[in-house]
Structure 1
């Protein structure tokens, strides 16, 4: 990771620009379009998704970028749901096997949120599962050891008595708050997230991302803004972000990154409405988005920013990363089609 000097936080950025209109290259009217049209970022990504992705990501892509219906997305997601209300079956590609895990369930909530279905009985069912797997302090471990009998990625820790971690609790609580879900489980889990976010001394960028996911939707906005401002200063001071992808040495992974991984402004602020957007100047964010757009591979997908450990998980993760990249670029008004 690049060694970049700390600098004061920039002023709050302007509001998000609207998502650009995206043409459908499968439309009969576009079959004879110029070659450049068929090579748009969206068209290339769509080909990659249909060639490589699971049904869930295919359906999610169709919903997000082609005006698809949310019902098929939820139907595809149901294939990963277990009788205990949690999700398994390698929904999170780095954890294989059928057993429900908090990490899988966190991803399921992200999918439900993306299609506007993160509420009602669905949320109640998930919250009952979260209650059943929480640690004594009311929060979530990343992985429950009693359900591990299948392959997991080397970077996923498996311990006999796993502690509660912000890494999974923060995003889950944040998603439930954003969807105005109220459940008894949330009270203690929210308190845990406040303590963890406000005391975090980050060395792992993924912990910071989890804190931001919580703070972005926390009800107490002044408190959330203060906590986010502190984290933003630490991210810059501790060089947990690459501010200039073209700088010498920017291809090195810093001590705070996963193997083979680097973190850029767009990783922390995937949406311009995020509190983390204020951590970076307009120039820094523009460079980061330029770098993200240029990372699209010749096959249309985006690369996974960490070391591969098995073929299937790597391919499944690439489809998810590709959809996330398109959503980030679109949220900032970058042209996709």
Structure 2
């Protein structure tokens, strides 16, 4: 499963933010650039939500209202999110992983706040465990299809995988809610006690650590996790020596993680875990993974044709965002 961090979109003029783009305004430039190739792929395959995110974040022609309107289609009656927003969980019921996905979208367009997020926090409170943590999947998912690697159990425990990104994104946007105090304590307890982990759990911890207000504590925790990542070989430091960096148990054969998966922007605490050479190799590998149709591939296990179609545009947006954050030319 992908878990992507977000960062503020490029600035737009007041006219652009509220304007309807002209028919030729959304052209991304010469057809040979990574951006233009990705645009062709996204217009052909992406959901409306990802198309509008792309137009807003990379072409500067869509407004945040348009992205919000597309996201609204995934909102549930209890003010959570469902309907396959996170493609590996199908059906109309709200789930914490959907909420994390929604917050990433809202964060990317500068709309992670207000009454919408206040109502979501109330919904998350009702979904959390006694310790204030979020399970990855609630039992209500049992009635609908879901990926085999997100099992549904009757009494699911709190999980950093779900809680860390939600708490981190809320802190990043200065959202305060009573639930956050207990959820933050849960994240600290898990992050500071990790001895053996896997890449997705580390990524979830980083979304939390990159935004939690106690910066000195976050830096200390991140330094320890960085040592763990290197000691347990969770990141491919040399793409030409993949056999030296085995994938985590239960992952797909090609589900390697690279430095850019952890340090999605140069501002991440994870950036200090890797040398410039290691980071450049990672970004080179990411750029080279763009496929002939303009999209980036999915590395984890595919379990249904529809989810593969929905995930690739999301992965493609994440790749473009990471390359741009590091100043790599995309078009």
| TM-score for both structures, normalised by structure 2 | 0.90
Secondary structure of the structure 2 residue equivalent to 1:189: helix
Equivalent position SS for 1:162: coil
Q: 1:215 aligns with which of 184, 193, 209?
A: 209
Aligned with residue 279 of structure 1, among 273, 277, 281: 273
Residue in 2 aligned with 1:150? 144
1:138 to 132, 135, 144: 132
Q: Equivalent residues in 2 for 1:196-235 (5 A)? A: 196-235=190-229
5+ long unaligned stretches in structure 1: 1-15, 20-25
5 Å-filtered alignment, 1:1-337, equals: 27=24, 37-67=30-60, 68-247=62-241, 249=243, 253-256=246-249, 258-260=251-253, 261-337=255-331
Distance, in Å, in 1 between the alignment partners of 2:142 and 2:73 is: 20
Distance 1:29 1:63 in 2: 10
Q: Which runs of 5+ in 2 are unaligned?
A: 1-6, 11-22
Q: CA RMSD in A?
A: 2.2
* Deviation per residue, 1:207-233 (Å, 9 max, x gap): 000111100011111100000000000
Distance 1:133 1:151 in 2: 20
Deviations 1:26-51 (A, max 9, x none): 858989x8xxx211000000110010
**Higher RCO (CA-CA < 8 Å; seq separation 6+):** 1
Looking at structure 2, the residues matched to 41 and 135 of structure 1 have their Cα atoms a distance apart, in angstroms, of 44
Secondary structure in 1 matching 2:283? helix
Q: Give, in whole Å, the separation in 1 of the partners of 2:230 and 2:318.
A: 24
Aligned residues: 312
Judged with a 3 Å threshold, the aligned counterparts in structure 2 of structure 1 residues 291 and 142 are, in CA distance, closer, same or farther, namely same
Q: Structure 1 runs of 4+ off > 3 angstroms?
A: 26-31
TM-score of the pair, normalised by structure 1: 0.88
For 2:196 and 2:52, how far apart are their aligned partners in 1? 36
Partners of 1:117 and 1:78 in 2: CA distance = 13
Task: After TM superposition, give the deviation of residue 300 of structure 1 in Å.
Answer: 0.3
Identify the range of structure 1 (207-216 vs 258-267) with the bigger mean alpha-carbon deviation: 258-267
Sort the Cα spacing of 1:47 and 1:200 in 2 relative to 1 into closer, same or farther, 3 A: same
Structure 1 contact 49–58 (Cα < 8 Å) conserved: yes
- Matches of 2:26 and 2:96, distance apart in 1: 45
